[in-house]
Amino acid sequence: MRGSYSEAGKYMHDESSKRTKFAENLGNLRREKGLSQRQVAGELGISQALLSHYETDAREPRLEFVIRVSEYYSVTTDYILGRTTERDDGTKILSAKINTVVDSIEEIRTTEAKMLDKLRGLLDIK
């Protein structure tokens, strides 16, 4: 038995009845996306019952599933396991900044080429 009833009949939880951060985060991520267990389970290639067991802490997932579900929700494994509150390891932010710099460089090159063509036209240089 995971807990006991108090004198007043209220269910008292002991430490072993608390859900793990993994189970909590797994359910929260699904609900945040507005998805059903059936939808997520289908996309992850598991049964809805197994996903439900993971979300309620009735079953412990294998490492492969932890990695797959982290990729599915675009969060780190550390986040889904409850080891950090940061959902992203920063690589996406860095990647976006790099893309912005590359786009800016390409824009500068295009502008520079147009300006050189205009200057050549003004000077009649071919």
> Looking at residue 9, what is its pLDDT?
32
> Looking at residue 126, what is its pLDDT?
62
Q: Which CATH architecture has domain 3-80?
A: Orthogonal Bundle (1.10)
pLDDT tens-digit profile of 71-114? 999 999 999 999 988 877 666 667 778 888 888 889 999 999 89
Q: If you average pLDDT over residues 110-122, what whole number do you get?
A: 89
Asked if the model's pLDDT at residue 53 lies above 70, the reply is yes
> Looking at residue 96, what is its pLDDT?
76
Give 113 or 65, the one with higher predicted confidence.
Answer: 65
Q: If you average pLDDT over residues 27-44, what whole number do you get?
A: 96
pLDDT tens-digit profile of 11-33? 223 344 468 999 999 999 999 99
Q: If you average pLDDT over residues 106-124, what whole number do you get?
A: 88
Cβ density class 35-59: b for 16+ within 10 Å, e for less: eebeebbeebebeeebbebbbebee
**Cα distance between residue 124 and residue 18, in whole Å:** 80
Give 50 or 104, the one with higher predicted confidence.
Answer: 50
> Looking at residue 14, what is its pLDDT?
35
